A = this chain, B = another copy of it.
Amino acid sequence: MEKEISKERAAFLAKDYARGFIHYCQFEPEVVEYGFFQSRVSILEHHRQQDGFIHAGVMATMADHTAGYATFTTVPEEFQILTIEFKINFLRPAHGEALVCRSNVIREGKQIIIAESEVFDIREGTETMSAKAMVTLMAVHREKLTSKS
């Protein structure tokens, strides 16, 4: 994809990324390009589960939300994005000091958009893919967001 987004739009999406639950989870935006979004989280104790691994829910939330913002880069500004569904495979338990998520739109569309997210476990600077998700999203015009599609 050789399309581009404006600096203003990229800056807006980066700023908009970490609100509400995502801010609470301390995820941060890193890279914004047309059809692509990368995010990161430094792992704290409250991101882990009962056995000390990073919780699957942290990875799932990151995979979903980052896919949503990758999708935002491909639609007009007056559209909001909702997740219809996603599926995530956990390839290996993650227990590093950070996670990085890279999401790519693999099918653009006016309404239905498909994105993939790969979540990497960062340990002493090396990356290991820990989870991979396929996400189906829907673009909804801002004015119709309260109605049911």
A112 within 8 Å of B (CB atoms):
yes
Which of A45, A82, A92, A145 has the most chain B CB atoms inside 10 A of its CB?
Answer: A82
Over the window 46-90 of chain A, the binary record of Cβ atoms lying under 8 Å from chain B Cβ atoms (1 yes, 0 no) is 111111000111101110110000000000000010111111111
| Interface SS of chain A | mixed
Assess whether B47 is in contact with A92, with CB atoms less than 8 Å apart: no
Contacts of A58 in B (CB 8 A): 21, 61
Known A93-B82, A111-B111: A49·B20 in contact at CB below 8 Å = yes
A to B CB contacts below 8 Å, 26 in the list: A20-B46, A20-B47, A20-B50, A21-B48, A21-B58, A22-B49, A22-B57, A23-B46, A24-B46, A56-B83, A56-B86, A57-B60, A57-B61, A57-B64, A57-B65, A58-B61, A61-B61, A84-B89, A85-B87, A85-B88, A86-B87, A86-B88, A89-B114, A106-B129, A111-B111, A136-B136
